[in-house]
Amino acid sequence: MSGAATRAISALRRELLEIDLAGPRGHHCSRVALAVTLAVIVALVLRVDAPWWAAISAFVSTQVTAPSSLRRGALRIVGTAIGSAAGLLLSPWLIEDQVALSLALFVASSIGVLGLQVSRHGYAWLLGAVTADMVLLATLDDPTSALSVACNRTAEVTIGTLAAILVSHLLSPREDHAPPRPRAPGWSDLLGAQWASTQHAMRAGLGVMLVPLAWSWLQLPSFSQAAITVAAVMAVPAISDDDAANREKIAVRSTHRILGCLIGGLAGLAVLIASFENFLPWLAALAIGVWVGAHVQASARDIGYVGTQGAVVFIMTMVQGSGPPSSIIPGIERLAGITGGLLIVEIVAILLTPSARNAETR
């Protein structure tokens, strides 16, 4: 993983030296920053519970073209709404039963990661699983919170996604010149030709299932972030029968996730040291940080996930309430949850992934 980190840092340095405000990539980054800014303003005006979720949704939903933003946004809203409803409906039966809750987390996460691999609407499947996990895990702290978490997450995601769609509709190119998406294999033959994807999804489900057990034992904060980390890190594309290649993909994604979180957290800390007390300078600092994150996310050097995670943690650190932030703690808690989630991924990989010697004898 150290080699992956070294390569990522080197590529990141080159990306930052190539910043261009006037080119197509710079224009896209400006649209992303504008969408996030709009989402934050609307979320603050409406006084939603977690305005940073609206900002994050705007960031990840703003694509290069208007059609791709609309598709991404629709999948995000639908997946979040279905996941919220599923978590809400299941929560009354799972609140008092730790075993049943763990099994529900396993099933939801396995289906979500598998859906990402095999369905043409894979992003919605993954978002549905992650949202259901969040609703169910929230009941561990407060058994009565399922309804508020489900409604708030859906509202916040909808605000941010609609901001992204609006900005893209007004300012983004209408022509989509991206190559055709590979045809999704579908849900058939999961125990045959797609067995590798099924196994991978079950490992992800097992990792999420272990999160509440580990967090209740260690009494750590932000265990929902650990569950999201397990699902997100395991959500790598194009799982194959080559276990070594799959492990390498997951290791690189894990490295990029934690590197991005460190960078985003340090950037947020720098802003806190600057102590922005006025709304407009704070909003401008947020937009600049998001612009840089979008620039790295659009990299052709395979470090886009570093930019995504850096921007997400920067947003969570910057957007904490009704104005400029007062603490770096949200970013630190996210990093703690992510670190715990990555440790769980590694433990599951060690326990369940065949060794190289066993792989050769199959």
Task: Give tens-digit pLDDT for 115-148.
Answer: 998 899 999 999 999 999 989 988 877 888 899 9
Asked if the structure places residue 182 within a domain, the reply is no
Asked if the structure places residue 186 within a domain, the reply is no
178-192, 278-292, 293-307, 334-348: lowest mean pLDDT where? Answer: 334-348
pLDDT at position 242 is: 66
Cβ atoms < 10 Å from Cβ of 101: 21
Contact predicate 176/65, CB 8 Å: yes
Question: What is the tens place of the pLDDT at every residue in 83-108?
Answer: 999 999 999 988 888 889 989 999 99
Of residues 276 and 25, more confidently modeled: 25
Asked if the structure places residue 49 within a domain, the reply is yes
User: What proportion of the chain, given as a percentage, has pLDDT over 70?
Assistant: 80
- Of 207, 216, 237, 228, the C-alpha closest to 106 is 207
**Which helix (DSSP H) or strand (DSSP E) does residue 161 occupy?**
helix 146-171
22-26, 302-306, 348-352: lowest mean pLDDT where? Answer: 348-352
44-48, 133-137, 173-177: lowest mean pLDDT where? Answer: 173-177
Number of alpha helices (DSSP H) and beta strands (DSSP E) in the chain: 14, 0
Distance, CA of 331 to chain centre:
14
Question: CA 133, CA 105: separation in Å to the nearest integer?
Answer: 6
Asked if the structure places residue 116 within a domain, the reply is yes
How many domains does one find in the chain?
1
Q: Which two tokens stand for residue 212?
A: 């509440």
Of residues 315 and 162, more confidently modeled: 162
Asked if the structure places residue 360 within a domain, the reply is no
Instruction: Quickly state the pLDDT bin for 359 (edges 50, 70, 90).
Output: very low
Question: CA 191, CA 119: separation in Å to the nearest integer?
Answer: 16
Asked if the structure places residue 185 within a domain, the reply is no
Question: CA 302, CA 311: separation in Å to the nearest integer?
Answer: 16
Q: Is the pLDDT of residue 158 over 50?
A: yes
Q: Is the pLDDT of residue 41 over 90?
A: yes
Question: CA 146, CA 93: separation in Å to the nearest integer?
Answer: 12
Give me the domain span that covers residue 258.
Answer: 2-173+191-355
Of residues 282 and 185, more confidently modeled: 282
Average pLDDT, the chain: 84
Question: What is the tens place of the pLDDT at every residue in 299-339?
Answer: 988 899 999 989 988 998 888 777 666 666 766 776 677 66
Instruction: Quickly state the pLDDT bin for 241 (edges 50, 70, 90).
Output: low
Instruction: Quickly state the pLDDT bin for 188 (edges 50, 70, 90).
Output: confident
Q: Is the pLDDT of residue 168 over 90?
A: yes
Asked if the structure places residue 280 within a domain, the reply is yes
The residues near 138 (Cβ < 8 Å, ≥ 6 apart) are 145, 146, 149, 224
Asked if the structure places residue 181 within a domain, the reply is no
Of residues 63 and 354, more confidently modeled: 63
User: What proportion of the chain, given as a percentage, has pLDDT over 90?
Assistant: 43
